[in-house]
Amino acid sequence: MRFFKKQHYGGGVKPAHSKAFTLAEVLVTLGVLGVVAALTMPTLIDNHRDKVLVTQIKATYNLMLNAFDLYKQEHKCFDLFCLFKRNKTETEIADEFATMFSGSKVCDNSNKNESYCKSYPIKGQKPYKKDGKYDAPDSFSLKGRIVLKNGSYILIRNYAECKHQYTTIKRDDNGFVISSEEKTVDVCSTIYIDANGNKGPNQFGADIYRVSLKSDGLLDDPNNIKQVITTDKLDYVKYKLGEDVH
């Protein structure tokens, strides 16, 4: 079978029907590739960022648990209440706990203006709506904050009583308050973890997690950090603060 007809040009042989791409065809191809890249790049970037966050979460959570064990060994106590005493301030607990981490710093009045000690809002695991706008239900404050050598933060909140009142607020789809209810919760202390400092997204279920110390001495896991560590998957919904609820 003949695929092309031989023709002689100055002693050489070349196909009779050779054809190159036109400029228009090249531009169309590049345009299609550009559209595909524009559609897939954000997803690839988000996936890579989430993988990095999972790695950072695992590292910080393990550092914290090891520090808890080390503190109990050094102080010859059987549970965490030797650290999280009811009569201790959050700053006192942070100062003591920080000694378990090499190269750590505690935020106080002497360094409150440093970028690693400034307060910032924490977005909800799912879009949190307030008065018709997307808002943040919590904040990462200065008091009780430990800055670790790897750039992650630990925040201590200690309560005078383990059993205390908590107000739950029910809102409509636009974030306006429908009703509120007082509930009694069993939380002696709350330990916040921000796996990458204040770099963002600063959101529960992404880079920020809470661990609660209950009156029985056990740690509760309201943001499912153990599930993230087991599955290597984050569980949060992205949204921007201050945008109108549609």
Q: Using CB atoms within 10 A of its CB, is residue 12 exposed (0-12), middle (13-18) or buried (19+)?
A: exposed
Question: 244 in a domain, yes or no?
Answer: no
Residues forming beta bridges with residue 154, ordered by sequence position: 146, 193
Res. 4 pLDDT band, cuts 50 70 90:
very low
Give a yes or no: residue 140 inside a domain: yes
Domain with 39 in it: 21-231
DSSP-derived 3-state class of residue 41: helix
- Strands (DSSP E) along the chain, which ranges? 6-9, 12-15, 105-106, 120-122, 128-130, 133-135, 138-140, 145-147, 153-158, 163-171, 177-186, 189-194, 208-213, 219-220
Q: Please state, in angstroms and rounded to a whole number, the distance separating the CA atoms of residues 187 and 207.
A: 22
Residue 126: the pLDDT is 92
- What total number of domains does the chain contain? 1
DSSP 180-194: EEEEEEE-SEEEEEE
Cα dihedral 193/97/142/158 (nearest 10): 80
| Per-range mean pLDDT, top range of 44-48, 52-56, 168-172 | 52-56
Higher pLDDT pick, 6 / 69: 69
User: Is the residue at 12 inside a domain?
Assistant: no
Q: Is residue 9 part of a domain?
A: no
Residue 245 is assigned to a structural domain of this protein: no
The SS3 assignment for 209 reads: strand
Asked if residue 9 has pLDDT above 60, the reply is no
- Would you say residue 33 has pLDDT above 80? no
Closest to 60 (Cα-Cα) out of 196, 160, 171, 226: 196
pLDDT number for residue 1: 47
Beta-bridged to residue 161, according to DSSP, are: none
Q: Does residue 37 sit within a domain? A: yes
**Within a domain: 8:** no
Per residue in 101-138, pLDDT tens? 999 999 999 999 999 999 999 999 999 999 999 999 99
Write out pLDDT tens, residues 184-235. 999 999 999 999 999 999 999 999 999 999 999 999 998 899 999 999 999 9
Q: Is residue 4 part of a domain?
A: no
For residues 193 and 218, is the Cβ–Cβ distance under 8 A?
A: no
Between 178 and 29, the higher pLDDT residue: 178
Task: Output 42 or 63, whichever has higher pLDDT.
Answer: 63
Given pLDDT bands bounded at 50, 70 and 90, which one contains residue 12?
low
Q: How does the average pLDDT of the chain come out, rounded?
A: 88
